[in-house]
Chain A
Amino acid sequence: MSAATVSFPNTAAPWQLPSRGKVAMASLIFAEAAIFTIFVVAYLFYIGKSLTGPTPREVLEVPIFFTVCLLSSSLTIHIASKCLQRGKQGGFMALWLLTIVLGGLFLYGTGMEWHRLIYEHGLTISTNLFGTTYYSLVGLHAFHVTVGLVMLLTVAVFGIAGRVGVSQSGRVEVLSMYWHFVDAVWVVVFTVVYILGR
């Protein structure tokens, strides 16, 4: 008898399986979404439960400009990866760098907001429940933006070296999935912190 590698007739149909990169990134996003859910639940649960000030209404300002920056970076990264798929290197690099700038602007905005809260209003993570939940939730998101930026920059460095071509478009697309997720999380965080929480 031969080994188990006997092929059977009638099984010659083309064998298509999903890309492991996309499946893995989707799984990671699933897990990350669960982590963010817990932080969001904690934030919602503790709205208005702080025993001392400052309260969100007193100190938070809605960061509309930086939100627009981050959300539009989702569009730019999407078009960038489409450009790469079609082999338009120049368009890809330009939009990719624009994405990094927009993401960087957003982080700068978060930094400025924290600076203002800490130095003008004296709100730190240990001040009250609002401070604890606010810095944890927004900080967790900012951490994810930072990680995303590091990965985007890595691709940019390879791109400037001329190493990112059509054959890398699958990987670039996996990275853009992550970036879209980070943006989507911001929609939730923005709603919870700046609309419901105030």
Chain B
Amino acid sequence: MSSNVITIPGVQIEARPWVDELHQWLTTVDHKRLGILYILSALLFLVIGGVEAIIIRIQLIHSHNNFVSPQVFNRMFTMHGTTMIFFVAMPFLFGFANYLVPLMIGARDMAFPRLNALSFWLSFLGALLLYFSFLGGGGLYGAGNAPDAGWWAYAPLGARAFSPGHSFDYWTLALLVSGFGSMGTAINIIATVLCLRCPGMTLSRMPLFAWLNLVMAGMVLLVISPLTAAQIMLLVDRYLGGHFFDTQAGGSAVLWMHFFWIFGHPEVYVLVIPAFAFASEIIPVFSRKPIFGYPVMVAATVSIGFVSMSVWAHHMFTVGMNSYANSFFAITTMAVGVPTGIKIFNWIGTMWGGRIQFKTAMLFCIAFLFQFLLAGLTGIMQAAVPFDWQLSLSYFVVAHFHYVIVGGILFAMFGAFYYWYPKMTGRMLSERLGKWHFWLFLIGFHMTFTVMHIPGLLGMPRRIYTYEPGRGWDTLNLIVSIGAFIQAIAILVFVANLIISYFKGAPAGNDPWDAWTLEWSVSSPPPAYNFATVPTVASRRPLWDQKHPEDPDSRYE
């Protein structure tokens, strides 16, 4: 493949001083740089959130442990949850969407580059606000130094009386500010996908990645908004003496739960749909087959988007809703499993009969498939209301949603790293370290989160800072904690791989995986202007058409 970079003969580009380089990065509006900034900030907070998880697991490693105080324990699980959802998962996915969507649809940049930069810095400011609470959270009351009401902050825990000081204000503002950032990015993704496609790239020829991110962006608009509204109400309560969630003045604590979960549950799908997007690009390439059932994949994604908007109250079966509400939310929750199941069958259908290459990226995607299936199955178990009454707020639930977020989303995200890192840096990630990363993380993951179901079934509640000996939880918790350490080691291997490969990795070339979407047609890393000339496509796999002019896909459309 010839390179797509414009070079001007006789012109030498001098290396800029590092201050200039830094200035370029801080003021950039380039979608690729912003994508990388998103991913780097997510990596930073992944490590911070991971340290908090490790602190939680050390505290629970045996009964009556005194590693941290109950107060600190509460802060740790609150910060861990908030960080991982808002400042790790979201930025990771937005980062990849930012970097890849314009490249995949043959565009020069996102639709609104400056809005894009604003969105990134808003969400980063949100993260800084959250962590500033450790310093400034005491406030004039001198009480509290980090939010400790859990990541869903049930009323009245968020009220002034129960969260004095400013720690909780930082939590609210962090979510509000980063929410505005998320909305900006979502608007940008929608406008980019709908308005900047290169000639020939009809909606039915878009890579699934672009389709799924379009659905994700639409969901973000509908999902982040209730959270934003609820945070505004909470601020009114805290600062202006309002009574939205003040039960003593007739307000309702349950209303907060509804508002939070109208955000909270679809948020899971906001996070998992981009993970589906990664799998939908990586699995076909390493199976050497086009994706199986493209239109059905799109339809299933859109229907997940719709159905997932009507399942939120399955988080509230134990609150005491009436039986009609319980039945409705149980049925919708089970229904959302249908389109998800369709997707899993399609990925398997893609792999079926393919010449599968077990590269690290593919290994992560295969693990994603199995683990996400299991996570979905425990989800359906909990959709059964009586079962949920028994296990709600137990470690079974914790195990379930970590199966979704770590076993599903994070595994797919690691797959995306191994697949697109060569495009972003021009260097291959080491396969040897990658295999170490994969197997260590897989073992650690199952030691932690598969085993964690059992103490849940035995009745161990979540969010307790310690427990009595002799309930049969000790050994299980020890195994869970050891698994957490193995995962931490795997993450260190991963970070080491990122750093070492950046300097010493094998040069990637334009198209190391012999892939089919447009981002692989440009150099690695792509030039600032992406495409020297605007590409024109005639099928879903433009690079296949180009490599196989004797048998192009476009012939079969």
Q: Is the CB of B233 closer than 8 A to any CB of chain A? A: yes
The answer for the CA separation of A126 and B226 in the assembled complex, in Å, is 22
* Complex interface bits, B384-404 against A, C-beta within 8 A gives 1, otherwise 0: 000000000000000000000
A45 pairs with B255, CB closer than 8 A: yes
Please give me the residue from chain B that is nearest to A36 by CB atom.
B229
Taken together as a complex, chains A and B put the C-alpha atoms of A4 and B534 apart, in Å, by: 9
* Chain A hits for B218, CB < 8 A: 27, 30
| Chain B nearest Cβ from A146, distance in angstroms | 16
The 8 Å CB contact of B546, one of A6, A24, A49, is: A6
The residues of A that contact B229 with a CB separation of less than 8 Å are 34-35, 38-39
Stretch at the interface among B17-25, B33-41, B245-253, B436-444: B245-253
| B536 & A7 in contact (Cβ 8 Å cutoff) | yes
Query: Which listed residue, A6, A35, A50, touches B228 by the CB 8 Å rule?
Result: A35
Per-residue interface assignment for chain B, residues 187 to 224, with 1 indicating a CB less than 8 Å from any chain A CB and 0 otherwise? 11011101111011000000000000000011001101
**Bound complex: CA A38 to CA B112 (Å):** 28
- B12 in contact (CB, < 8 A): no
CB distance from B207 to the nearest CB of A (A): 14
Tell me if B119 is interfacial: C-beta within 8 Å of chain A: no
Chain A residues closer than 8 Å to B537, beta-carbon distance? 8, 11
Contact in complex: B255, A23 (CB < 8 Å): no
In the complex the two chains form, is B249's CB within 8 Å of A4's CB?
no
A23 and B191 within 8 A (CB)? yes
Interface segment among B131-139, B236-244, B330-338: the answer is: B236-244
Residues of A within 8 A of B532 (CB): 3, 5
Is B230 on the interface with A (CB-CB < 8 A)?
yes
Given A42-B244, A125-B241, is A23 in contact with B521 using a C-beta cutoff of 8 Å?
A: no
A residues in contact with B187, CB < 8 Å: 24, 27-28, 31
Complex contact B195–A129 (CB within 8 A): no
- Report B537-557 CB contacts with A as 1/0, cut-off 8 Å: 110001101110000101000
In the bound complex, what is the Cα–Cα distance between A35 and B227 (angstroms)?
8
* A10 located at the interface, meaning its Cβ lies under 8 Å from any Cβ of chain B in the complex: yes
Among B191, B233, B240, B545, contact of A42 (Cβ-Cβ < 8 Å):
B233
Residue of A nearest to B200 (CB): A11
Which one of B112, B225, B232, B250 contacts A136 once the chains associate, using CB atoms below 8 Å? B232
Cross-interface CB contact of A1 among B1, B195, B250, B533, cutoff 8 Å: B1
Interface status of A108 (Cβ within 8 A of chain B): no
Cross-chain contact of A18 among B195, B249, B250, B535 (Cβ < 8 A): B195
> Which one of B194, B200, B249 lies within 8 Å of A128 (CB-CB)?
B249
Report the bound CA distance from A181 to B183 in whole Å.
18
Min distance, Cβ B255 to any Cβ of chain A, angstroms: 6
Smallest beta-carbon distance B408→chain A, Å: 26
Assuming the contacts A5-B532, A31-B187, asked whether A46 and B250 have C-beta atoms less than 8 A apart, the reply is yes
B322 at the interface (CB under 8 A from A): no
Measured between alpha carbons, how far is A23 from B2 in the docked complex, in Å?
36
Q: Which residues of A contact B262 (CB under 8 A)?
A: 38
**CB 8 Å contact bits of A1-29 with B (1 = contact, 0 = none):** 11111111011000101111001100110
Is B152 in contact with chain A by the CB < 8 A criterion? no
B contact residues around A7 at 8 Å (CB): 536
A8-B222 contact given A24-B187, A126-B241, A136-B236, CB 8 Å threshold:
no
Q: How far is the CA of A5 from the CA of B190 in the complex (A)?
A: 25
Evaluate whether A34 and B195 lie within 8 angstroms (CB atoms) in the complex, with A4-B4, A4-B535, A8-B554 already known.
no
Instruction: Let me know if A132 is at the binding interface, CB within 8 A.
Output: yes
Partner of A125, one of B200, B221, B230, B236: B236
| B230–A31 touching, CB < 8 Å | no
In the complex with contacts A11-B538, A30-B221, A38-B250 CB distance below 8 A: no
Docked-complex contact B111 and A3, CB < 8 angstroms: no
Output the least CB separation between B142 and chain A (Å): 25
Q: Which residues of A are found within 8 Å of B221, using beta-carbon distances?
A: 27, 30-31, 34
Cβ-based interface call for B410 (8 A): no
Scoring A2, A5, A19 by chain B CB atoms within 10 A of each residue's CB, the highest score goes to A5
CB <8 Å contact, B183 and A31: yes
**Which of A4, A31, A125 meets B225, CB within 8 Å?**
A31
- The 7 A-B residue pairs whose C-beta atoms are closest, nearest first, are A4-B521, A126-B241, A34-B225, A38-B229, A20-B195, A132-B242, A8-B538
Cross-chain pairs A/B with CB under 8 angstroms, 13 sampled? A3-B1, A4-B518, A11-B536, A23-B191, A28-B187, A31-B225, A35-B225, A38-B229, A51-B249, A126-B242, A132-B242, A132-B243, A140-B232
